[in-house]
């Protein structure tokens, strides 16, 4: 039965069901709000994501933005969600940064002396004991890391919503949205507010497409390597993420021009060339996927209210760290809407309000 037959006035309509949409749904459930979700499968970044939560940018040995605070919110969030969905989501796994030289070892030790970074960086060099990996300079270990099974999460949550008649699986029709004085209306659904959490699909949104969401394409391989027997995440020129059953996720690429979800031979070759600089055993490529990360020019999320329409909200721009950012950003948006609590200025979409009025003036 279509959703429109099931509800009168609800509190929220959510568009999109990636990490952002799921996290906001959970805020609503925790606070006993009524809602419905409309989503299609056009955006795949959450499905194809590596799912790592890693607080350190390992290319430069720097701390990711607000990483400690995000982890403190995210880990209990996924633990609670796993119990609700009756499935394992959080796989605790160390992340090892492969050193390419003595100089990189020294840089690691310098970084570990910094107060905030020192919490996450182990101060001893971990010796490589895997004969299938070439790592003569050893590894640095990052503490408090792991992998969220994002594909399992999305499938399980979709099933949960369908079971409870809360999900309408279709492409949102922006022309059908009506903004009334005290609510929004959409094909028979009346809601007090609407949340857009559509990832790179933001470009199709006439209300929020003034926001500078660039989108970077990422491609990942899954390989089967029976001899590798590695239980840690290895970060070198690419990540190797253990999945179990001799399967490993390898990634990822960053492409700014191609905005399709189609895997490419070029990126596959790039990943394999990088992988073979340190992996020495035989392997077989068993899967190859791609998706567009919703990245923003200033590398911060887009969370907030439309400049003119006070019932329209955005939850987007999590980039490659959606697993860590989504629970915090969703909680912040909910508190802003319901309790007028300020959104962190670095992720408040209001920082781009000037762009909205400039575009409006041009039109």
* Residue the block writes with tokens 């069901």: 17
Is the separation of the CB atoms in 184 and 191 below 8 Å? yes
pLDDT for residue 115:
86
Chain length of the chain: 363
pLDDT for residue 1:
33
* Residue the block writes with tokens 């499938």: 155
Locate 356 and state its tokens.
């909205």
* Residue the block writes with tokens 């860590």: 324
Along the 363 residues of the chain, how does pLDDT read in single tens digits?
A: 344 444 489 999 999 999 999 999 999 999 999 999 999 977 667 666 789 999 999 988 999 999 999 999 999 999 999 999 999 999 999 999 999 999 999 999 999 999 889 999 999 999 999 999 999 999 999 999 999 999 999 999 999 999 999 999 999 999 999 999 999 999 999 999 999 999 999 999 999 999 999 889 999 999 999 999 999 999 999 999 999 999 999 999 999 898 888 999 999 999 999 999 999 999 999 999 999 999 998 999 999 999 999 999 999 999 989 999 999 999 999 999 999 999 999 999 999 999 999 888 887
Is the separation of the CB atoms in 52 and 320 below 8 Å? no
pLDDT for residue 47:
63
Could you tell me which of 220, 287, 233, 317 has the C-alpha nearest to residue 19? 317
pLDDT for residue 361:
86
pLDDT for residue 362:
86
155's enclosing H/E stretch is: helix 150-163
pLDDT for residue 5:
41
pLDDT for residue 86:
97
* Distance in angstroms (rounded) separating the CA atoms of residues 327 and 24: 8
Is the separation of the CB atoms in 36 and 7 below 8 Å? yes
pLDDT for residue 44:
65
List the 146-148 sheet strands across, edge first: 52-53, 146-148, 90-92
């Amino acid at each position: 039965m279509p959703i429109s037959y099931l509800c009168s006035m609800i509190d929220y309509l959510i568009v999109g069901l990636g990490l952002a949409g799921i996290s906001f749904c959970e805020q609503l459930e925790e606070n006993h709000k009524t809602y419905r979700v409309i989503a299609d499968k056009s955006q795949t970044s959450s499905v194809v994501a590596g799912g790592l939560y890693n607080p350190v940018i390992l290319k430069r040995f720097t701390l990711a933005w607000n990483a400690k605070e995000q982890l403190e919110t995210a880990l209990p969030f996924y633990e609670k969600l796993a119990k609700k969905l009756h499935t394992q989501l959080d796989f605790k796994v160390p992340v090892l940064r492969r050193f390419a030289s003595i100089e990189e070892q020294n840089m690691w030790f310098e970084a570990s002396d910094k107060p905030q970074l020192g919490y996450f960086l182990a101060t001893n060099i971990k010796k490589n004991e895997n004969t299938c990996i070439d790592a003569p300079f050893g590894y640095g270990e990052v503490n408090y890391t792991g992998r969220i099974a994002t594909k399992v999460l999305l499938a399980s949550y979709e099933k949960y919503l369908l079971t409870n008649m809360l999900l309408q699986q279709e492409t949102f029709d922006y022309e059908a949205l009506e903004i009334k004085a005290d609510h929004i209306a959409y094909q028979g659904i009346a809601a007090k507010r609407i949340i857009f959490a559509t990832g790179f699909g933001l470009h199709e949104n006439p209300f929020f497409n003034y926001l500078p969401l660039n989108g970077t394409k990422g491609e990942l391989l899954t390989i089967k390597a029976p001899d590798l027997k590695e239980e840690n995440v290895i970060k070198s020129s690419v990540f190797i993420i253990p999945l179990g059953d001799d399967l490993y996720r390898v990634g990822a690429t960053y492409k700014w021009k191609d905005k399709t979800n189609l895997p490419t031979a070029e990126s596959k070759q790039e990943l394999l060339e990088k992988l073979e600089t340190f992996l020495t055993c035989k392997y077989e490529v068993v899967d190859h996927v791609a998706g567009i990360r919703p990245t923003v020019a200033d590398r911060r999320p887009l969370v907030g209210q439309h400049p003119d329409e006070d019932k329209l909200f955005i939850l987007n721009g999590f980039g490659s760290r959606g697993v860590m950012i989504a629970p915090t950003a969703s909680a912040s948006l909910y508190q802003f809407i319901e309790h007028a609590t300020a959104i962190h200025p670095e992720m408040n979409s209001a920082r781009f309000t000037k762009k909205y009025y400039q575009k409006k003036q041009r039109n």
